[in-house]
Amino acid sequence: MLPDLTQYMWIAWLVLALVFIIIELLTLEFTFLMLAAGALIGGLGVNLLGGPWWLQIGIAAALSAVLLFTIRPLLLRLLHRDEPDARTNVDALYGMGGRVVQTFVDGDGSVKLDNGETWTARLAASSPAAVDVGARVTVVAVHGATIEVTTPAAATPEERTSDNG
């Protein structure tokens, strides 16, 4: 005769929670921590109260889902509250430095930005009329596929500080 395996369910819940905690320590995103809490509180808790196996699984799954969609977002927001919003796409170009790779003719030329991209560029009105190849410039505006650049000497103090930071 085989023993009734449901009497050992508490061991399965502890092992499952331990595995989730180990995975959480590797990922650090609070997902597996919520699953571990659901396994411990829902699964092991119902097991210790004498609930059937199907109720243990149901409560553990429901509690894990509730924790994932309520507590996890709050913890992530609390963890990342001091981080500035990351600038992406076109917004990341403002204030970025670069080097002139093609001489400006009638205000239009080509610039290789510090991120490695080469853009068609137009000189800002505050820039000198002649900018040599290899000179440093700073992006002050983006107009479609063309960036507007100025030399650091012609940039306003606000533009110079955004280029440094």
Q: What is the pLDDT of residues 75-122, one digit of tens each?
A: 998 988 887 777 767 888 888 899 999 888 887 889 999 988 899 998
Contact 57, 43 (CB under 8 A): yes
Q: Report which of 105, 103, 102, 93 is spatially closest to residue 138, judged by C-alpha positions.
A: 93
Mean pLDDT of 15-25: 97
% of residues, the chain, pLDDT over 70: 90
- pLDDT surpassing 50 at residue 10: yes
Per domain, the residue ranges of the chain are: 5-79, 89-164
DSSP 3-state of 88: coil
- DSSP code of residue 42: I
Q: Say what angle helices 53-79 and 9-27 make with each other, to 10 degrees.
A: 20
Q: What angle do CA 24, 26, 32 make, to 5 degrees?
A: 15
Amino acid identity for residue 153 in this structure: A
Which CATH fold would you assign to the domain 89-164? OB fold (Dihydrolipoamide Acetyltransferase, E2P) (2.40.50)
Question: For residue 99, what are the β-bridge partners?
Answer: 112, 136
pLDDT at 36: 97
- The answer to whether residue 163 scores a pLDDT higher than 50 is no
Per-residue model confidence (pLDDT) at position 1: 59
Report residue 2's pLDDT band, with 50, 70 and 90 as the boundaries.
low
pLDDT exceeds 90 at position 19: yes
Q: Which of 82-86, 133-137, 160-164 has the lowest mean pLDDT?
A: 160-164
pLDDT exceeds cutoff 80 at 67: yes
